[in-house]
Structure 1
Amino acid sequence: MSTGVSVVAALVLAAVTLTHLAMLFLNVAPPNAVTARYGERIDAYVQPEFGQDWKLFAPNPLQRNEVVLARVRTGDENGGHRTSAWMNLTARDIGEIRGSLAPSHVHQNMLRRAWDSYVATHGTSDRDTGVRAELATAYLKRVALQRIGREWRGRRIVALQVGARFTMVPHPWRPAQGTGPGAVSHRTLPWWPVTDRDHEGL
């Protein structure tokens, strides 16, 4: 009986693993008949947790440096509020990598992917346009709160604002067109309320 259960469990695990790998492969593969028909389902499965930053046979390196920032608003029992200065979340992630004997880019990539997922589902409107947009908002909020915590300077966080600073990277062999290398731009998202539910599982 136990042998039969083990075989079934192994088959189920193998099927899940193969399906997962197939989804990741199709997500980074060049356009084909399968992605043309099931592209939305594949993308919905992969993003944002398993998102890839490159395409198969055609790597697309980042052309700008992105720094994700956040600030919080705290509240007290008397109804008073304070707003923190901007915190550089990207610098915190990089600081944990430098000097480590076994550096990991998991947290750095998680933060950047959370920002990219938000921008991809919202464009420049900052308005939720569907289920994926709501998920991207919640994901970015939770990733930021994971780094900041529930409190700031001993006071409970009641709101969060995320922003980013972008610096264009000079092209290695082509003169810059439009926005030149070193040019800096910013984007600031609206304030989001923070509740205990936003911290669940963090």
Structure 2
Amino acid sequence: MESRAPDESGISGAEESPGRLSLPAQIFMALAVAVVLGFTAWHLATVFLYVSPPNTVSKQHKETIDGYVLPEFEQNWKLFAPNPLQQNIDVQARAEVQKKDGSTEQTPWVNLSAQDAEAIKHNPAPSHTEQNELRRAWDYFINSHDEKNRPNGVRGELSEQYLKRIVMLRFGPVLNDGKVQSIQLRAEVTPLAAPDWSADKRSTQSSYRQLGWWQVTTADLQKGDRETWSSWEGSGQ
């Protein structure tokens, strides 16, 4: 008697359909989705508590919330903020440099905030440094000094060192063919114009908060710049 081959269509029907995940793979995918959803929920809840007004939960878990949000996910806004920022603040700096012939000169003011804004413009993923470093350093200084720019304790002194080092990162040890001896900062504060529909006719004239001159030392420079700064010809050091 002639034997017949099994019906292949029947065999294929008994097998798993192509493209269907196995049970272990389905379990793994379900766990992965659960982890992603859980992390997303945690992230949104933590950021919400950070920007929301102080409450029982945010006060009780403040260290945990701050530890997660800062510095990578720092937010510069608050829900229900009573006093939104209504002014532009440009941090500017200039330097006193010593030339090789021993003479000194002051450089023009450099708008450091404008440099950051230009670096951020058209950049879909600007760095945290470009967005926040200078701005937060200036806020740190203002909040740790009185109106006469006198430091309120150790935090004030640290804020001065921080600002100096940020500026020296921008300027470098040599600027305009001269060794940077000292630097000076100021903030140009320009109120935003009121909208057309508002009866508020506030002035948009800029005002300035100018600091004194700060002497530059090797501690304010990157390691790679210290030798250049110390060995600059005509520096007298």
Query: Same fold by TM-score, threshold 0.5 exceeded?
Result: yes
Structure 2 gap segments, 5+ residues each: 1-41, 225-237
Superposed, which structure 2 residues align to 1:147-186 within 5 Å? 147-172=170-195, 174-176=198-200, 180-186=202-208
Superposed, which structure 2 residues align to 1:57-68 within 5 Å? 57-58=80-81, 61-68=84-91
Q: When the two structures are superposed, what TM-score results if normalisation uses the length of structure 2?
A: 0.60
Question: Match of 1:13?
Answer: none
Q: Which amino acid aligns with 1:190?
A: G
Q: Distance in 2 between matches of 1:176 and 1:58?
A: 20
1:27 Cα shift? 6.1
Q: Which amino acid aligns with 2:200?
A: A
What SS class does the counterpart of residue 53 from structure 2 fall into? coil
Superposed, which structure 2 residues align to 1:1-202 within 5 Å? 28-32=51-55, 52-58=75-81, 61-76=84-99, 79-98=102-121, 100-104=122-126, 106=128, 107-172=130-195, 174-176=198-200, 180-200=202-222
Structure 1 gap segments, 5+ residues each: 1-17
Question: Match of 2:3?
Answer: none
State the Cα RMSD in Å: 3.7
Q: Distance in 2 between matches of 1:49 and 1:193?
A: 32
Q: When the two structures are superposed, what TM-score results if normalisation uses the length of structure 1?
A: 0.69
Q: Percent identity, please.
A: 39
Cα gap change, 1:66 to 1:139, in 2 (>3 Å): same
Higher-Rg member (1/2):
2
What SS class does the counterpart of residue 183 from structure 1 fall into? coil
Higher relative contact order (CA 8 A, sep 6+): 1
- Contact 2:97 2:181 (C-alpha < 8 Å) held by counterparts: yes
